[in-house]
Structure 1
Amino acid sequence: MIRTAVPAEAEAVAALHLRARSTYYPDGVPPSDRDWRDVWRDVIERPDGHVLCAVEHGGIVGVASFRTPDGAPADLVKLFQFHIDPDHWRRGLGTALHTACVEEWRADGMRTAVLDVHVDNTRARAFYTRQGWIPDPENPPADGDHHEYLRYSVHGNHGPGNGTS
């Protein structure tokens, strides 16, 4: 089942976020002074944001957060976080969660979707490519960006959820 997350689930979402991020940082997740439970609670409670979660057997096994960034066109949405519990990979949950995101974006009149993905996260990059995302040459990562993110974007009816690129 895919549904909207509620603030009481911030701890479960933060734990899933940590498990998923741990898979693409070969030397471990960089130290942070953030309390991810508080971060996720704030994200879930944002009036302009959306957090969808995939639930299986009563537990959260996937999460996606998105919103229109400040100053961006009203028909642009950014996928800020997209995580599937590593114990649930290759079972179709990511595709189902992604499809739910795309359906919500289209229902909300979004024409452009963007995301950033860590350059070393080859699994995620391959997943997004399979979903129809393409590299955005107009918005390359900044020189010296220590996170080395790549940007993908999809415009109009060409891209996520319809198998075209």
Structure 2
Amino acid sequence: MIVTTFQTSLRTANLDDLDEITDLHTQARTAYYQAGGHSETELTSPEGRSSRREMWMRAVQDDTKTVLCAVREGEMVGILAMGPPLDPDMDAASAAQLYQIHVRAGRWGQGIGSQLHAAFVRFLRDASLTAGVLEAWERNSRAQAFYARHGWMPDGHHRPGPCDANYVRLRLDVGPSA
């Protein structure tokens, strides 16, 4: 999949992207977890980075998942991971999960996250799915506001997260494509 708008191209990730994806993910998650009270040391440790790189490698290689990279002026500025729902109470015949959207700090507010989000909505419609689900850390107010602007609503499910704060599951209902 390749989509280009406003100087930003979306393309399917490959194994050559792993280090750059891992670095972008580490930078983005450090920004929101640190703002929520997590220590930077825990977030940027070599062990944590290695674990994130392994997770991204599995996602890129998994035929049931899609990982997209947003590239602007030769720089990876965002990533999106999506696929079947992880929770057993969600029906994969009607819903998919947005696992992660991350935009490089310094590129926030430039429409990159919205472009990645639009790719997820296209994914839902192309697969004739009627809903998307995701989890957002309850202390990540930036993500909460972003998803609310795009029509996501809490569905009442949550699970424990770091720093005694939950991950909250959000749902987006989409109609059939026109």
Fold in common (TM above 0.5) = yes
**Which residue, 136, 146, 149 being the options, matches 2:161?**
146
What is the alpha-carbon distance in structure 2 between the residues aligned to residue 94 and residue 87 of structure 1? 12
8 Å contact from structure 1 (residues 3, 54) kept in 2: yes
Higher strand fraction: Structure 1 or Structure 2? 2
| Residues 1:82 and 2:101 are matched in the alignment | yes
Higher helix fraction: Structure 1 or Structure 2? 2
> Aligned pair count?
154
| Residues 1:30 and 2:39 are matched in the alignment | no
Instruction: Write the letter of the residue equivalent to 2:150.
Output: Q
TM-score, length of structure 1 as denominator length: 0.85
TM-score, length of structure 2 as denominator length: 0.79
Give the superposed CA RMSD. Answer: 1.8
What is the alpha-carbon distance in structure 2 between the residues aligned to residue 15 and residue 49 of structure 1? 20
**Which residue, 116, 125, 140 being the options, matches 1:121?**
140
Q: Which residue of 2 aligns with 1:10?
A: 18
Q: Which residue of 1 aligns with 2:29?
A: 21
Instruction: Write the letter of the residue equivalent to 2:24.
Output: L
Q: Which runs of 5+ in 2 are unaligned?
A: 1-8
What is the alpha-carbon distance in structure 2 between the residues aligned to residue 86 and residue 112 of structure 1? 29
Instruction: Write the letter of the residue equivalent to 2:40.
Output: G
**Which residue, 62, 66, 84 being the options, matches 1:68?**
84
CA-CA distance at 1:156 after TM superposition: 3.3
State the identity %.
Answer: 31
Give runs of aligned pairs for residues 33-44 of structure 1, distance below 5 A: 33-34=47-48, 35=50, 36-44=52-60
